[in-house]
Structure formats: C-alpha cells, structure tokens
C-alpha cells in the first residue's frame, strides 16, 4: 500500500512539473500580432503586419459577361469582339463609276495596291473578309495581271462582269461573316494600394492588373498591367490615367468621346485649397500609336501616306489641367500639346531640289467637363457633360476608331493635321439604393484638314459617329451587381476617289448597329 501511494505521489509530482514547464514556455512565447484597421484613407485599409505606419488595401472584381452585336457594325469596344476582326472596313466597289478591280476603294492600311487607280487597298490575304465579292476582286485583279494567260483572262473577265453588275459606288463591308456576333467571357481584376504618411505628404504605391478570356479571344489574354504608379506628395510617376481625362462614364461599353487614356506619365499636382488643384504632366505620346511600329509605312496616322512614315518619339506630350472638386460635384479644364514626326523615305539625292523630306507637326487638344451631384432627385444621382476639340492629336478625343487619322500627306511632300471634336452627356439615377440606371449619349465628328487640303485618293475615313446607350443594374447585396446594357451607334464615312477621280468625295458610307450586354459582377 505504501508502495502504491509513493508511486501516485511521484506521478503527481512529475505531472505538476510538466505543467509548470509548459506554463513557463507559454509565458516566453512571442505575442500574436493581429491585423489592425487603418481608417486614415477610407474603408478597407489595414496596417501591414510588422509595420506601424503603412496601410494597405486589396480590392478587385470578377466579372462574367454575355454580349451580342449586330452584323456589319464598327463596334467601338474591343470587349465585344476579337482584336483581329473588331473593325468593319467599309469598301466602295466601282468607285465613281470606274468599274472592275480598278475601282475598288478601301481602308486596309499596309497592303499591296490592286488596280491602276487604287492605293492602300486590299490584297490576296484580306479578300477572305469580303466573301464572294472579295473573291471576285481577287480574280479580276489576277486576270488583269496575267495578260497572256487565256484562262486567267477569261476568269478575270467573268469576275469583272459580276463586279460591274453591282453598279457604281457599291458599298461592301468586310469582316461581316468572320466576326463573332455573340461573345461571352470573364474578366478578373486585382488592385493593391499602399499608403504611408510622411513629412513630405502621403507616399503611395498603386498596382492593378487584370486577366480576361472570351469566345472571341479563344485562348484568353495574358495578365495585363493596367496601372502601376508611385505618388510622393504632389508627384506622380508611372502608368495611370492621363491628367487630360475628365470624369469617366459608368458604361461597360466605351462610348465615343469617352476619355479613358492610361499612359506612362510624370506629373506634378499643386493643391491651391478649397478643392482647387493644378496639374502639369509629361505623357508618353507613343502610347497613342502602340500598335504602329516605328519605320512602318502603314501606321494609319496618315491618309494617302505614300512614302511617309512615323519617326521615333522625340518629346513627350505636354498636358495640364485645372480642377475643382467640392460638395456640388467637380469640374475640369484640360489641354495637351504633342509633337508628331514623319519622314519621307523617297527623299533621295535625285529628289527635286527643295523637296520636304521630314515633317515635324504640332498637334493639340483642349477639353472641359463638369459633373454635378443631384441629391435633390435621389441620393447618388449625377449629371455629367463634357466636350473636347483637337487638331492633329485626335487620340485625345476619346474612342474614335482606326479610321481617325492624324492627317494627310500630299504629293508635294507636305503633311497636314486633321481636326475633330467630341461631346458626351450622362445621367445616373438611383431608383432605390439597390437599383440604379445610366443613360449616355455621345457624338464625335472629324473634319477635313485646315486650309481645305484634300484627303488622299482611294480612301474611306470616319466622318462622324454617334451613340446612345443605357444600363440598368440591381445590387441585392453590397458588392454584387447584376445588370444589362444596350446601345445603338451610327457611323458615317467619306469615300474619296483615286487616280483619274482625283481627291474628291465620291460618296458616303453608313454603318449602324446595336448590341447589348448582360453582366454579373462581384466586387470586393
């Protein structure tokens, strides 16, 4: 019995010693650091663990959309179609009554000319976008070029006869059968916003990237860096929205005249108090022509480009704005000036004395916009209106499609800039806190060159575009949207004759269409 009691007491002592050792270990453990809320910059920020002065916010969304567009439509959004086929190129067949392959007028930059009276036109690769008529154009051209081949001549003659049967100035749209009319896809976006207070002001770094895929993109797109910049007090450096931009619209589809430019920029913003600020910035002008490589003879910057090509960027665009933001809303006036450099590759020693071999032109743009809060109608209601005007720097007008050239070059070796303007209005209304709507109307018009200079021969170019769109969204819970958006747009193009027709307008082409989206989005 005594032995049993001794064993129990010994075991108890060992257990007690063990608990004491564990208690000592717990007392020596590192304290747990919980995430702390940071309310200095708004909702969603927290102190980065291990830091007592840097706040971070992580946000983003996942969006699923289903879209439909009408056929023969030059859609202004790359979201609804693949990049390769999103532009519907209007073509005039039998231009000005000149029948057959010699009368084709098109707008497909950078391809081999076909026929005696054409420049900048279709080639064998692009005929497929124009169906049976495109095939006839190819056969007519081949027959004309074959000469001695009786079979080719016969085939070409048959094709030419079919083209002649279309009559003068027949309007043909490319890509009508190669573009997807129904498009569905997803898009995911993630943002990181880190801020630290310093004696110089707030030090901020912002990074945003996105990835998307759709049945038009087929295999999807890679991760896209949309924003990436550093702010140190009044200085902003990196890729962000151009300080030329005024308040953006709420549309899923980018409207004509919608200033949504993201550019590499270096900017200084001076706050004058009472919500007034002034910004001066240097924007990377090459971003406007990102798809147009230096040295290309088909940059799309010029009409009747001939031997002119864009030269390397020498100076950034100079951009400035004056902005006021108060309880009633906000307003802004913006301006931009850019240099456009071109070289004539045909300028050689044998060129005529006094010929112009280079051209450095100045393009500029101005804009003004105001957004007014309308709480008297409903909480959250706003009205936005803005307008912009440009000479040469047409990319500052907003979305004006691939037919929006810088200007034209003439046979005498001069380059002229082109003018344009755009206006946009938007009304946003909340029927209830969970149901909201928007209606947007926009109009863009591109003029001829100053001094009455003609556009180049055999060219189809955008003259004007207007669009009206509306959306209705339901937000049953915070951060979750279900909605629809419908739009109708109308585009008009001028067609200029070539060769014996000269540089005169031979007709007008209209391209109208409608479309819509259904969207489901979770924002966090």
Do 264 and 409 belong to one domain?
A: yes
In this structure, are strands 224-232 and 170-173 parallel, antiparallel, or unpaired?
Answer: unpaired
Q: Locate all alpha helices (DSSP H) within 243-380, ordered by sequence.
A: none
Question: Do the domain assignments include residue 390?
Answer: yes
- Burial (CB < 10 A; 0-12, 13-18, 19+), residue 433, is exposed
Do 327 and 434 belong to one domain?
A: yes
Q: How far apart are CA 200 and CA 71, in angstroms?
A: 56
Q: How far apart are CA 2 and CA 447, in angstroms?
A: 113
Instruction: Give me the helix-helix angle, 150-164 and 131-146, nearest 10°.
Output: 140
Do 299 and 424 belong to one domain?
A: yes
Q: Cα separations (Å) of 342 from 184, 359, 406?
A: 41, 5, 11
Domain span at residue 114 reads 90-173
Do 375 and 448 belong to one domain?
A: yes
Q: How far apart are CA 393 and CA 364, in angstroms?
A: 5
Question: Do the domain assignments include residue 480?
Answer: yes
Dump pLDDT digits (tens) for 179-237: 567 778 888 999 999 999 998 889 999 999 988 887 655 555 667 888 999 999 999 99
Average pLDDT score over residue span 391-408: 67
DSSP track, 441-453: EEEEEE---GGGP
Do 61 and 115 belong to one domain?
A: no
Q: Cα separations (Å) of 226 from 209, 241, 374?
A: 5, 10, 31
Q: Cα separations (Å) of 356 from 227, 308, 344, 411, 505?
A: 41, 11, 8, 10, 27
Model pTM above 0.85: no
Do 142 and 231 belong to one domain?
A: no
How many domains does the chain contain in total? 2
Do 147 and 200 belong to one domain?
A: no
CATH number of 325's domain? 2.40.160
Do 320 and 359 belong to one domain?
A: yes
Percent of the chain whose predicted confidence (pLDDT) is above 90: 32
Is it the case that residue 500 has pLDDT exceeding 50? Answer: no
Dump pLDDT digits (tens) for 283-309: 987 655 544 443 333 334 454 445 666
Do 232 and 163 belong to one domain?
A: no
Do 118 and 196 belong to one domain?
A: no
Dump pLDDT digits (tens) for 111-170: 333 433 333 344 433 555 666 777 777 777 666 555 444 444 456 778 888 888 887 777
Place of tokens 């070539």: 498
Do 203 and 164 belong to one domain?
A: no
**Is the CB of residue 205 less than 8 Å from the CB of residue 48?**
no
């Amino acid at each position: 019995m005594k032995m049993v009691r001794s064993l129990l007491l010994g075991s108890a002592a060992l257990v007690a010693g063990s608990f004491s050792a564990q208690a000592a270990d717990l007392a020596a453990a590192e304290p747990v650091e919980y995430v702390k809320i940071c309310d200095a910059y708004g909702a969603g920020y927290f102190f980065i663990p291990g830091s007592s002065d840097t706040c971070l916010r992580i946000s983003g969304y996942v969006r699923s959309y289903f879209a439909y567009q009408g056929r023969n439509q030059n859609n202004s959004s790359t979201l609804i179609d693949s990049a390769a086929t999103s532009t519907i190129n209007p073509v005039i067949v039998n231009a000005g009554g000149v029948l057959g392959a010699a009368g084709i007028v098109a707008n497909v930059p950078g391809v081999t000319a076909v026929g005696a009276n054409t420049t900048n036109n279709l080639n064998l690769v692009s005929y497929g976008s124009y169906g049976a008529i495109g095939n006839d154009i190819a056969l007519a051209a081949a027959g004309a070029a074959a000469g001695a081949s009786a079979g080719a001549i016969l085939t070409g003659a048959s094709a030419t006869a079919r083209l002649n049967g279309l009559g003068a100035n027949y309007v043909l749209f490319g890509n009508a059968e190669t573009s997807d009319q129904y498009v569905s896809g997803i898009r995911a976006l993630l943002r990181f916003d880190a801020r630290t207070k310093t004696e110089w002001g707030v030090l901020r770094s912002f990074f945003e990237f996105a990835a998307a895929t759709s049945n038009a993109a087929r295999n999807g797109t890679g991760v896209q860096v949309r924003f990436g910049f550093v702010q140190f007090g009044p200085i902003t450096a990196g890729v962000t929205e151009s300080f030329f931009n005024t308040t953006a619209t709420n549309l899923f589809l980018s409207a004509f005249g919608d200033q949504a430019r993201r550019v590499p920029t270096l900017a200084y913003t001076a706050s004058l108090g009472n919500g007034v600020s002034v910004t001066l910035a240097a924007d990377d002008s090459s971003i406007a022509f990102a798809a147009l490589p230096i040295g290309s003879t088909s940059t799309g910057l010029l009409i009747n480009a001939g031997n002119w090509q864009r030269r390397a960027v020498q100076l950034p665009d100079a951009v400035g704005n004056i902005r006021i933001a108060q309880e009633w809303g906000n307003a802004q006036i913006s301006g931009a000036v850019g240099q456009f450099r071109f070289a004539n590759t045909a300028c050689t020693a044998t060129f005529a004395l006094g010929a112009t071999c280079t051209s450095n032109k100045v393009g500029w743009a101005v804009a003004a916009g105001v957004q007014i809060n309308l709480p008297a109608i409903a909480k959250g209601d706003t009205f936005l209106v803005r307008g912009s005007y440009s000479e040469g720097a047409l990319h500052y007008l907003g979305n004006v499609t691939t037919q929006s050239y810088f200007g034209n070059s003439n046979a005498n070796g001069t380059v002229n800039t082109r003018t344009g303007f755009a206006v946009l209005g938007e009304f946003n209304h909340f029927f209830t806190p969970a149901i909201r709507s928007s209606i947007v109307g926009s109009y863009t018009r591109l003029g001829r060159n100053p001094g009455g200079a003609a556009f180049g021969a055999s060219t189809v170019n955008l003259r004007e575009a207007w669009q009206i769109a509306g959306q209705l969204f339901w937000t049953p819970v915070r951060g979750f949207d279900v909605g629809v958006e419908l739009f109708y747009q109308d585009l008009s193009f001028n067609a200029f004759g070539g060769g014996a027709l000269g540089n005169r307008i031979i007709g007008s082409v209209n391209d109208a269409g409608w479309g819509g989206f259904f969207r489901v989005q979770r924002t966090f």
